[in-house]
Structure 1
Amino acid sequence: MIEPAVVTAEPLVIRPETAADAPAIAALTRTAFATAPHTDGNEHRLVGRLRDAGALALSLVAEGEDGELVGHAAFSPATAPAGGGDWYALGPISVRPDRQRQGVGGRLIRAGLEELTARGAAGCTVLGDPSYYERFGFEPAPAAAPPGVPAEYFRIKPLTAAAPAGPVRFHPIFGV
């Protein structure tokens, strides 16, 4: 279980979300994606639907020095081909616009991957900017990309198992 931890570079606490955080997470996600180039504007609803379905396997928030949420990372279950172990999908990940490019997202991703590793997860997938996610060890895996997902943006990070032998499936809420 992730315990709140203060990162010394900037006052920041990474902790699991609580029920009371849900409205702030929705507002933060809506704001974070408002000007994103590849968005449908529904990321905040996606997080809510995952939560309502009990499919937020890990949901981390970053609190700034003032106690306000400045970041959020969602991890939901994913399914690998038979025998592939427990896989998870990272996303959406949201950082308040005035705190972007300050390492908040990276801290959330690292904390989430550490927790998934501690849980014995087989691996984690992400759909996003390859150059950003590769710095966290996510690698190209076109053969594991779910049908209908642009393979050039699909990445995996094996944690305790080998890469899946075939396409990974996201939680049905993602609609892919």
Structure 2
Amino acid sequence: MTIQLRHETLDDIAAIEAVTTAAFADAPHTSHTEQFIVRALRAANELTLSIVAETLNQIVGHVALSTVTITDAHGHKTTGWHGLGPISVLPAWQGQGIGSRLMKQALAELRAVQAAGCVLLGDPAYYGRFGFQAHAGLQLPGVPPGYFMALAFHGPVPEGIAHYSDAFNATA
């Protein structure tokens, strides 16, 4: 089985939505709005990267990245950071390394464009293997601190509050 990773095309949009919906259907700790978030990011032209995993002419995985701003206690904004997510793999294809390949590709592409770093919300046991760590000085309001993690590509992880696109509020 060969898995090809590539950037999304217009023809992939329906399949990406289906993969995202299926991937989160039985997931704990979800509001089941992930597919709407991807749609809203795309509509707002705020997808930094949108990478699909394809095999046998079927999209089986997807990862979305968008810009994030971090504001410190003095109101200074740090840019150059990106938020990873949602990341989705069809349930029948999970556990085969597709999510890991999507993660590695996404991080490599962010490094290639000289991004400062990447943040995400997720399971520390899974994302720690890619170098993500929780940082006491970096917060996402309403989220348990251990589940909001960052990976700096150069320089330190900034302190402050992370602000994602308004598209993350999409519910339909």
Q: 2:42 matched to which residue of 1? A: 51
Alignment of 1:89-128 (within 5 A): 89-128=83-122
In structure 1, distance between residues paired with 2:154 and 2:79: 9
Q: 2:58 matched to which residue of 1? A: 68
In structure 1, distance between residues paired with 2:163 and 2:155: 17
Q: 2:67 matched to which residue of 1? A: 77
Does the Cα contact within 8 Å between 2:6 and 2:53 map onto a contact in 1?
yes
Does residue 136 of structure 2 align to residue 145 of structure 1?
Answer: no
Name which structure has the greater RCO, CA cutoff 8 Å, separation 6+. Answer: 2
Q: 1:162 matched to which residue of 2? A: 156
Identity %: 44
In structure 2, distance between residues paired with 1:174 and 1:142: 23
Q: 1:32 matched to which residue of 2? A: 23
Q: Aligned to 1:77, what secondary structure does the other structure show? A: strand
In structure 2, distance between residues paired with 1:38 and 1:165: 26
In structure 2, distance between residues paired with 1:165 and 1:35: 34
| TM-score normalised according to structure 1 size | 0.89
In structure 2, distance between residues paired with 1:58 and 1:85: 16
Amino acid at match of 1:38: H
Unaligned runs of 5+ residues in structure 2 are none
| Of 66-75 and 143-152, the range deviating more from structure 2 | 143-152
Q: 1:7 matched to which residue of 2? A: none
In structure 2, distance between residues paired with 1:52 and 1:85: 22
Amino acid at match of 1:69: I
Stretches of 4+ aligned residues off by more than 4 angstroms: none
Amino acid at match of 1:88: H
Amino acid at match of 1:77: T
Q: 1:17 matched to which residue of 2? A: 8
Q: Aligned to 2:78, what secondary structure does the other structure show? A: coil
In structure 1, distance between residues paired with 2:158 and 2:15: 35
Which of the residues 124, 130, 135 maps onto 1:130?
124
Amino acid at match of 1:61: V
Q: CA deviation at 1:83?
A: 5.9
Amino acid at match of 1:165: E
Q: CA deviation at 1:150?
A: 1.9
In structure 1, distance between residues paired with 2:32 and 2:159: 33
In structure 2, distance between residues paired with 1:161 and 1:99: 36
More strand as a share of residues: 2
Distance 1:85 1:170, change over 3 A: same
| TM-score normalised according to structure 2 size | 0.91
